[in-house]
Amino acid sequence: MATDVHRPVTTTKSPSAQPGSAVRVEGLTRSFDGRAVIDRLDLDVKPGEFVALLGRSGCGKSTLLRILAGLDRDIEGTVLVPRRKAVAFQAPRLMPWKRVWRNVLLGLPGKPERPVAERALAEVGLEHRTNAWPKTLSGGEAQRASLARALVREPDLLLLDEPFGALDALTRIKAQRLVDELWQRRGCAGLLVTHDVEEAVLLADRVLVMDEGVIAYETEIDLERPRGISDPRFAELRGELLHRLGVEAPDAPSPAAAA
Ligand SMILES: Nc1ncnc2c1ncn2[C@@H]1O[C@H](COP(=O)(O)OP(=O)(O)OP(=O)(O)O)[C@@H](O)[C@H]1O
Ligand SMILES: [Mg+2]
């Protein structure tokens, strides 16, 4: 897998440069106005691993994702990421003056033809809106178009920043299933920033909690796929993560009852 290296800026093309890792972050610090939002953070993501990142608002999740995406290079420390990566944000960010298929191809190198976009749109169930204008899409459709735009890049790393945050509950469940399917089919590594603990436990191999500028807690999600929220182990993981986020689940046993 080819890699981009941010600081020290010695780009390597050798896949063996980072055996066993799709992402390697060492001692990463990012400060704004003298305040370290990310403070000597370390993180490894394995090839094909899907990781969810939780943390209170303002703790630096989007900052970390933007750094991994190569959108922010004003950093200290070392960040190794695959060269082929794609990002989807909470707002689909489609260009209103370009038809859906042209949006999907936007920024791709070379001169990709329409069928390339059509294939990606079919993968997200949007083949019937290929020629539509973005403003005529529903919120869920726009988000799927945004996913198609990410997939068409054939990423080795898919970065998602609250991609379902603006969707209604039903559309959100469908979009989560779609991401689960796509990730399993594509086999790329993924980092999903979310506020939704259930979403994290449903989708991820590993869930991280960010706090005070570092990964303060992490847990493997040892549940078979497809996962169901009715599984007692699911509730246990959810409760532990909520606890780590400083929220007690309403159905959590009291310390006295658990003793
Ligand atoms: N360009 C910037 N200039 C100054 N401060 C910034 C900048 N970008 C982010 N910050 C600050 O860094 C901190 C982390 O922001 P970030 O957007 O990463 O948080 P977050 O964890 O994604 O929050 P949320 O869950 O609300 O999206 C915040 O205090 C924010 O104000
Ligand atoms: Mg954010």
In-domain check, residue 253: no
Give the Cα separation of 6 and 246 in Å (integer).
33
pLDDT for 249 beyond 80: no
Instruction: State which residues have CB under 5 angstroms from ligand 2, the bound ion.
Output: 62
Q: Which of 104, 51, 95 is nearest to 219 (CA)?
A: 51
Q: What is the pLDDT of residues 171-196, one digit of tens each?
A: 888 889 989 988 998 899 999 999 99
3-state DSSP assignment of residue 17: helix
**Which of these three, 130, 154, 178, is where a domain ends?**
154
Q: Is 58 in the pocket of ligand 1 (CB under 6 A)?
A: yes
CA of 119 to the centre of ligand 2 (A): 30
In-domain check, residue 255: no
**Residue nearest atom 1 in ligand 1 by C-alpha distance:** 32
In-domain check, residue 63: yes
Give the Cα separation of 241 and 172 in Å (integer).
21
CA of 113 to the centre of ligand 1 (A): 37
CA of 138 to the centre of ligand 1 (A): 28
Domain co-membership, 79 together with 96: no
| CATH code of the domain containing 45 | 3.40.50.300
Domain co-membership, 63 together with 175: yes
Q: Is 97 in the pocket of ligand 1 (CB under 6 A)?
A: no
**How far apart, in Å, do the first and last CA atoms of the chain sit?**
49
In-domain check, residue 242: yes
CA of 232 to the centre of ligand 2 (A): 30
Domain co-membership, 169 together with 119: no
Give the model's pLDDT for residue 230. 92
Beta carbons of 77 and 27 less than 8 angstroms apart = yes
Question: What length does the chain have?
Answer: 259
**Residue nearest atom 14 in ligand 1 by C-alpha distance:** 60
Q: Residue 116 belongs to what domain range?
A: 90-154
Strand partners, 217: 209
pLDDT for 239 beyond 80: yes
Q: CB under 8 Å to 27, separation ≥6 — which residues?
A: 40, 41, 42, 76, 77, 78
Domain co-membership, 79 together with 171: yes
Assigned token pair, 191? 């980092």
Global confidence as pTM: 0.89
In-domain check, residue 254: no
In-domain check, residue 214: yes
Residue with tokens 């999600």: 221
Domain co-membership, 122 together with 213: no
CA of 245 to the centre of ligand 1 (A): 18
**Residue nearest atom 29 in ligand 1 by C-alpha distance:** 58
Domain co-membership, 38 together with 103: no
Give the model's pLDDT for residue 242. 97
Domain co-membership, 79 together with 173: yes
Farthest CA pair distance, the chain = 65
Give the model's pLDDT for residue 166. 82
In-domain check, residue 205: yes
**Residue nearest atom 9 in ligand 1 by C-alpha distance:** 63
CA of 49 to the centre of ligand 2 (A): 21
In-domain check, residue 140: yes
Domain co-membership, 73 together with 131: no
Q: How many domains does the chain have?
A: 2
Give the Cα separation of 2 and 63 in Å (integer).
23
Q: What is the pLDDT of residues 52-89, one digit of tens each?
A: 999 999 999 999 999 999 999 999 999 999 999 999 98
Give the model's pLDDT for residue 171. 86
Domain co-membership, 72 together with 27: yes
**Which of these three, 115, 133, 154, is where a domain ends?**
154
For 36, phi then psi, to 5°, come to -80, 105
Q: Is 63 in the pocket of ligand 1 (CB under 6 A)?
A: yes
Domain co-membership, 147 together with 193: no
Q: Which of 49, 61, 101, 58 is nearest to 206 (CA)?
A: 49
Give the Cα separation of 90 and 93 in Å (integer).
9
Domain co-membership, 162 together with 112: no
Domain co-membership, 215 together with 173: yes
Beta carbons of 154 and 109 less than 8 angstroms apart = no
**Which of these three, 112, 138, 154, is where a domain ends?**
154
Q: What is the pLDDT of residues 12-53, one digit of tens each?
A: 333 434 567 999 999 999 999 999 999 999 999 999 999 999
Give the model's pLDDT for residue 228. 87
Q: Is 31 in the pocket of ligand 1 (CB under 6 A)?
A: no
Q: What is the pLDDT of residues 111-165, one digit of tens each?
A: 999 999 999 999 999 999 999 999 999 999 999 999 999 999 999 999 999 988 8
